[in-house]
Structure 1
Amino acid sequence: MAKLAENADVMDILQGVIDGVKAGTVFGEPIEKDGVTVLPVARISGGGGGGTGRDSGEPERSGSGGGLGLMARPVGVYVLRDGKVTWTPAVDATKIILGAQLVAAAALLTIRAVIRARHPRGRPPQDETRLRRRGGQAGARFTMRA
């Protein structure tokens, strides 16, 4: 008898999920003011899981499980004004900031690579290399005696 109640609860939960993910939740309630109607739109995604269990050797062992996740994000709004419909997308500041951070990191890494390619460590600049081959010293001053 308890198994039937558990199954009924699972079915109730699934029905609630099905009812929750419908056009009414994707398109919000229209908002009307001063002759302008705004219809909010959201993107809904979700997932679920399940489980069960038994151990035929021992009647005391049992099992269950479950999981569900839903996420809704605003996408934008339809604006109805003077018989014309326009779409206004929602701006997600988090994505803009993340994108800017990625671009900045890539730029810094590129600048670092260019600087290292131009001035590698452990290798003297070209002027010093030429002077050492000739037996001179880098930065040595030569004076003429009369």
Structure 2
Amino acid sequence: METPDLVNGVRTDPSASRVFGEPYETVDGATIVTVARIRGGGRGFTATPVGAFVVHDGKVSWEAAVDETRVGLLAVSIGLAATVIATLAVLRRPPWPDLSRRGSFGSNRSRP
């Protein structure tokens, strides 16, 4: 099968096997099924890990895959936005006294 045929097959058949991975069993007897989110369109598909179902002793649990990159980017973005807002607030109404001169030089003198 050629590469274009594989790509066309994926585009026409995004089935559940492409979302849930093949189950596999660990040494302690737990069965793990990985889960991914598939997104894409014209230029191709991307799979992002979401988590895994773990079946152990007849109980099913969900283990989420946390994307630290997204969490870090969100934290940096919030910090940057707070810095910009604080800078604009200080520039709009500075906490230091206004030392600019208003009027011409010597206009405050009393005339004899």
Whether TM exceeds 0.5 here: the answer is: yes
Q: Where does residue 26 of structure 1 map in the other structure?
A: 19
1:42 aligns with 2:36: yes
- For residues 66 and 7 of structure 2, the distance between their equivalents in structure 1, rounded to whole angstroms, comes to 33
Does 1:80 pair with 2:74?
Answer: no
Aligned residue in 1 for 2:81:
106
Equivalent-residue separation in structure 2 for 1:94 and 1:11 (angstroms): 34
The count of residues paired between Structure 1 and Structure 2 equals 102
Q: Aligned to 2:21, what secondary structure does the other structure show?
A: coil
Unmatched tracts of structure 2, length 5 or more: none
Q: Which amino acid aligns with 2:29?
A: G
1:96-142 Cα shifts (integer Å, max 9, x gaps): 121011101111012212322442799329xxx9xxx986xxxxxxx
Give TM-score, length-normalised by structure 2. Answer: 0.71
Provide the C-alpha distance between the structure 2 equivalents of 1:118 and 1:12, rounded to a whole number of angstroms.
62
Runs of 4+ in 1 over 4 A off after TM superposition: 10-13
Q: Quick one: percent identity of the two aligned structures?
A: 39
AA of the residue aligned to 2:17: G
Task: Select the structure of larger CA radius of gyration.
Answer: 1
**CA 1:16 to 1:105, structure 2 compared with 1: closer, same or farther past 3 Å?**
closer
TM-score between the two structures when normalised by the length of structure 1: 0.56
